[in-house]
Amino acid sequence: MVQGKWFAPGQPLGEVLPVREAVFGAAGPESDPLSWNCLVFWDGVPAAAGRIWWQDGAFRIGDIGVLPDYRGRGLGDLALRLLLFKAQSHAAREVRLKTPPELAGFFARLGFRAGAPEEGGAETLEMMIPGDAIDLDTCRNCPRQDCPSRK
Ligand SMILES: CC(C)(COP(=O)(O)OP(=O)(O)OC[C@H]1O[C@@H](n2cnc3c(N)ncnc32)[C@H](O)[C@@H]1OP(=O)(O)O)[C@@H](O)C(=O)NCCC(=O)NCCS
């Protein structure tokens, strides 16, 4: 079973940090105490995490990571959708993130568009989605009409 859990800004992140450390090798950025963190469990195992915070006039998403053994099961997609839902529920005007360029396609699936490459190198790409372009309706472009999710 897949479950999601939210951690409000300032809540202890003891369940989240091991996932982040396993994926990124680092735990706590400065903006963590200001962030909403989400954690996704696969059969009770904390397997995916991500966070969203407000900074310099925009919501920022970061540290989306899935444990290597749990990739390819839709958990990264779910974590990103949870974070975008949080942005929507805060009436976000725009949401920004920085990503390695090779992951741009993962974020583009949900409408993020690439900005200019970061100064000083092409290691990081900044991507953005306007708040009113966030579309979390997975059925809209799906041709399958008899799917139980539509009922
Ligand atoms: C990127 C990452 C979060 C994806 O998680 P995941 O659970 O394996 O992805 P999902 O199974 O949810 O994939 C959802 C969809 O995205 C696609 N996708 C996954 N990785 C992709 C990539 N690098 N580029 C393009 N599409 C990608 C999948 O094919 C899938 O498409 P489908 O729905 O058409 O089948 C995971 O690979 C990861 O943790 N990477 C390392 C951490 C990292 O660099 N994070 C980004 C920092 S902001």
Nearest to residue 36, comparing CAs of 65, 59, 7, 3?
7
Is 50 inside a domain boundary?
Answer: yes
Q: Ligand 1 pocket check: which of 70, 75, 106, 144 to mutate, most ligand atoms within 8 Å of Cβ?
A: 106
Whether residue 146 is contained in a domain is answered as no
Q: Which residue has better confidence, 57 or 47?
A: 47
pLDDT band at 118 (very low <50, low <70, confident <90, very high): low
Does 7 reside within a domain?
yes
45, 53, 69, 71: residue to mutate for ligand 1 pocket, most atoms within 8 A of CB:
71
- Structure confidence at residue 110 as a pLDDT band (50, 70, 90): very high
What's the CA-to-centroid distance between 149 and ligand 1, angstroms?
Answer: 22
In a domain, 151, yes or no: no
Mean pLDDT of the region 40-66: 96
Provide CB contacts within 8 A for 80, sequence distance 6+: 50, 61, 64, 106, 107, 110
**In this predicted structure, what is the pLDDT of residue 12?**
94
Residue 137: band (very low, low, confident or very high) from pLDDT cuts 50, 70, 90: confident
> Which one is predicted more confidently, 30 or 98?
98
Average pLDDT, the chain: 92
Q: Is residue 20 part of a domain?
A: yes
64-106, pLDDT tens digit by residue? Answer: 999 999 999 999 999 999 999 999 999 999 999 999 999 999 9
The domain that contains 52 carries what CATH number?
3.40.630.30
Separation of alpha carbons 5 and 137, rounded Å: 21
How far are the Cα atoms of 35, 36, 37, 52, 127 from residue 9, in angstroms, in the given order?
5, 5, 8, 10, 24
Structural domains of the chain, count: 1
DSSP summary character for residue 118: P
Task: Give the residue numbers spanning the domain of 76.
Answer: 2-140
Ligand 1 neighbours (beta carbon < 6 A): 23, 62, 64-66, 71-77, 97, 99-100, 102-103, 105-106, 109
Bridge partners of residue 53, in order along the sequence: 60
In a domain, 150, yes or no: no
State the pLDDT at residue 142: 79
Average pLDDT over residues 14-38: 89
pLDDT of residue 26: 80
Distance CA 38, CA 65 (A): 11
Q: Is 148 within a domain?
A: no
